[in-house]
Amino acid sequence: MKKTIRGLILDMGGVLTLPQREDKVRELMGVMGQGGGPEPFLAAYYEKRREYDRGDLDRRAYWTGVAEALGAPPPGPAIDELARVDLESWFNMRPRMIELVRALRARSRALVLLSNIHHDGARYVRSGEGRAWSSAFDELVLSCEHRLAKPEAEIYGIAVRAANASAGECLFVDDSEANVEGARRAGLESFRFVDEADFEERLERDYALAR
């Protein structure tokens, strides 16, 4: 028997977007004067990423921290360039998922975006090019605006309230198993995103969207 879902809550990075662009990672490394393979850079990049997405660090503090972790000089005036390229590295949208989002909006009571994202990303999503697709959502729950990040239980509660449904009537889809498990602990239905075909199959097989 299909589970009735009134609130559909989707992650952004890795669900609505393709994986981070490798060419843009290399560009970030070039701006910071880093050569060699990407592994040391990415280790520094992710060391404080959660705090950045949670809104605990601004762009200057974050990128200065990346430089320190790499043993590199402070990025100074290059910070704005790093922020720009960083956005470009992530916002490589999955066209089929954007089509599905627009089609699914009419089938559920609410369509909610729940994303761990920093303030620069939040501005991009709420205006300009990002708004071209984010306007398909009824509500945007962005981590930096609440000083909470998945898989913290409280941020799922905010998304459930945004959906105007009970937790058990909400389905959350994310590419991170940790975030999926966090949603389940908070009482939501949830499954891990693999690709567009699997998403469509599981949605239609296991769930009945309702208003």
CATH of the domain at 108: 3.40.50.1000
Both 147 and 125 in one domain: the answer is yes
Per-residue pLDDT of the chain (211 residues; tens, 9 = 90+): 899 999 999 999 999 999 999 999 999 999 999 988 999 999 999 999 999 999 999 999 999 999 999 999 999 999 999 999 999 999 999 999 999 999 999 898 999 999 999 999 999 999 878 999 999 999 999 999 999 999 999 999 999 999 999 999 999 999 999 999 999 999 999 999 999 999 999 999 999 999 8
Which of the listed residues 65, 90, 115 is the one where a domain comes to its end?
90
Domain match, 80 and 99 both? no
- Looking at the structure, do residues 48 and 100 belong to the same domain, yes or no? no
Q: Is 181 exposed, middle or buried (0-12, 13-18, 19+ CB in 10 A)?
A: middle
205 and 101 in a single domain? The answer is yes
Cβ proximity of 190 and 171 under 8 Å:
yes
pTM of the model: 0.95
Where among 49, 75, 90 does a domain terminate? 90
pLDDT at 126: 95
- Verify that 107 and 77 share a domain, yes or no: no
Same domain, residue pair 10 and 29 = no
Of 58, 90, 122, the residue that ends a domain is 90
Q: Do 163 and 196 lie in a common domain?
A: yes
pLDDT at 35: 87
Q: Which tokens in the block code for residue 137?
A: 């959502």
Q: Write out the residue range of the structural domain in which residue 45 sits.
A: 22-90
Total domains in the fold of the chain? 2
pLDDT for res 94: 97
Same domain, 155 and 71: no
> In the prediction, which pLDDT does 36 show?
87
- Residue whose tokens read 């590295």: 89
